[in-house]
Amino acid sequence: MQRHFQILVIGGGTGGIMVASQLKRKNKKLQIGLIEPADTHYYQPAWTLVGAGTYDFNKTARPMADIIPSGVEWIRDKAASLDPDHNSVVLASGDVLGYDYLVVAPGLVIDLSLIEGLEEAIDMGVVCSNYIDPEHTWETIRNFKGGNAVFTQPTTVIKCGGAPQKTAYLAADYFRKQGILDKTKVIFATPGTVIFGIDQIRKTLTRVIDRYGMHFKPFYAPYKIDPHRKVVYFKYTAPEEKKQLIKEDNVLGEKMTGDSVVEVPFDMLHLAPPQAPPGFVKDSKLSNDAGWLDVDHHSLQHKRYANIFGIGDVAALPTAKTGAAIRKQAPVVVENILKLIAGTEATNNSYNGYSSCPLVTAYGKMVLAEFDYQNNFTPDPKLKRMLVFNSAKEHWRLWMLKKYALPYLYWNKMMKGKSV
């Protein structure tokens, strides 16, 4: 017999736990089931610090059993397929769960196959990534002796889009402290056109790049790695009027084939791996053409199925995929579900695309980029009152926020459904 839940949540990450916790705080009588196969919940924003040797990896992990809200039934299985026409979810085990309301929050998945040679490079330990093993990143940085240190990111959407450059800044600062920065060429290569899309933040980061003598390479889209020769290949996507000729015997040892392929040798390579929506979402009736959950940008309600909501990285929202975004999305989803249960329409359309990126620029310094759908710089009023300064500038207080305050708020407020 098919089991049925009043509210079914897919995903035990930040989005799923926040929504389940807030719903239970609003109404303890709600019957909620949460689908999550993992035994451990990770606070992934701290992995940048783990990769720089300044945070204990073990402190980023908690047993999933301790995170699931009291009164929420934990279904320890994977969602395999979605049947929104029959209000049901098929699990990997073959069991079928029914629901009145569905919250889809499985995050995204890493797909190493999208860059040729990446999986082999990871297995060989030639490439490091905070997204996969931040402790290996720290080991790589700590043992680096000089040469080309390349930091890059894929053409796909990634969670925490600023993380690859944060790692570059921290590594450069570590190399400076070790006295090897003058023997190192730190390269940040990105498919993007600018270092950051907000003017106030971009000006600060440009100064940071200059301070470390970094080589900033826009329009560099990685597509292949040769782990044996230690070469990363990029498609050079700059328009003709912006293309720069790569000369022979250049300081980085770059080589260009034709007008669109650049080879860069590396002594160290940190890469954010390509990421994609989970297959069960991509292959369902709930996805848009790109495979992401097709929700309204302001209400988070699905565009075709009114009893379904999406939150977090899986949602097709034109903003950065961060925990800070989820913090603003969760109350909207919760209020709209409660409205539907009460027999009224889901009229909360207040999510404005808010997200934030804590850009660590050195040991003890950080910039906080906060923005909305229009890329307006939108500092949180509560945070601004507490910090009493311009968060678009580097400051040690922001470092303290990143290292100490945000983890505390995450575990003790966000995961428990309390307002932050």
Catalytic residues: 160, 357
The neighbouring-strand residues paired with 116 are 224
19 Cβ partners below 8 Å, 6+ apart? Answer: 9, 103, 105, 311, 330, 333, 334
Backbone phi and psi for residue 234, each to the nearest 5 degrees, phi listed first: -120, 145
Contact 291, 299 (CB under 8 A): no
Of 299, 348, 358, 350, the closest CA to residue 324 belongs to 358
DSSP letter, residue 278: -
- DSSP readout, 162-180? THHHHHHHHHHHHHHHTT-
E strands, 300-388, are: 308-310, 355-362, 365-371
* H or E element that contains 402: none
* H or E element that contains 240: none
Residues 26 and 240: their CA atoms lie apart, in Å, by: 56
Backbone phi and psi for residue 367, each to the nearest 5 degrees, phi listed first: -115, 145
Residues 351 and 335: their CA atoms lie apart, in Å, by: 12
- Whole-Å CA distances, 411 to 48, 331, 356, 404: 18, 17, 18, 11
Residues 71 and 27: their CA atoms lie apart, in Å, by: 11
91 Cβ partners below 8 Å, 6+ apart? Answer: 35, 75, 77, 78, 79, 80, 97
How big is the CA angle at 238 (ends 232 and 240), to the nearest 5 degrees? 130
Long-range contacts of 93-98 (CB under 8 A, 24+ apart): 95/3, 96/2, 96/3, 97/2, 97/3, 97/4, 97/5, 97/8, 97/33, 97/35, 98/2, 98/3, 98/4, 98/5, 98/8
* H or E element that contains 188: strand 184-189
DSSP letter, residue 72: P
Contact 349, 296 (CB under 8 A): yes
